[in-house]
Amino acid sequence: MESDVELQLLMARYKEGDSAAATNLVKRLSPQLHRFFLMQFVSRRHADDLLQETWLRTHQVRRTYRQGEPVLPWLYAIARNVRVDHYRKSHRSESREERLDDQMDVPGPDSRRSSDTLEFEQLLAALPESQREVIVMLKVSGMSLEEVARATSCSIGSVKQKAHRAYESLRKGLSRSGPSDAKVVTHEG
């Protein structure tokens, strides 16, 4: 997890036009943003596109960053908006496209992934989008409750409630499909 003070300094330099600071931010934060998009059940190609679009938009709006504010919530709000815009655009496109034959050969999931990973992804997929998004930000990206609240424009209480409901759903799903010692670690505080 990146030190927010370091990120704030880099962002302040980037805002003033320092290309080395911009490069440093991209190198440091791209892996976690990419995971954010992948955990939203987007293909790797789409995750790559969304990541690129996030950095393009970040560049366009970099002057809106308020110096001294945490960088991750600001950046995740941009990433979240990019993902929502992508979803809306693709949903409009899909409604105008013709369906392919159901009998066409479409490759299945990557066989190199473990069955546990696939099962967990299926459990995550069953969650409402707002709960899945909160879990990904908290557990995959390692953001704090406050940072997730800022990124999603929700109150901390709302983030806690979404996380709690997601944990309950995940626990139920794990207890139905796995060993009884399976646990989901909650994010209290």
Residue 115 pLDDT: 65
**In terms of pTM, does the model score above 0.75?**
no
114-189 has the same fold as 1-94: no
Contacts of 21 (CB under 8 A, 6+ apart): 10, 11, 13, 14
CATH number for region 114-189: 1.10.10.10
Q: CATH classification of 1-94, choosing from 1.10.10.410, 1.10.1740.10, 2.60.40.10, 1.10.3720.10?
A: 1.10.1740.10
- Number of C-beta neighbours around residue 146 at 10 A: 13
Cα distance between residue 128 and residue 25, in whole Å:
31
Residue 19 pLDDT: 94
Residue 13 pLDDT: 95
Residue 116 pLDDT: 66
SS3 state at 18: coil
Residue 185 pLDDT: 52
Per-domain boundaries in the chain: 1-94, 114-189
Residue 79 pLDDT: 94
Tens-binned pLDDT, residue by residue, of the chain (189 aa): 457 899 999 999 999 999 999 999 999 999 999 998 888 766 888 889 999 999 999 999 999 999 999 999 999 999 999 988 887 876 665 555 555 544 444 444 455 556 666 677 778 888 888 888 898 888 888 889 999 999 888 999 999 999 999 999 888 888 876 654 445 555 554
Tokens of 81: 């908006």
Residue 182 pLDDT: 47
Cα distance between residue 23 and residue 158, in whole Å:
34
Cα distance between residue 43 and residue 41, in whole Å:
7
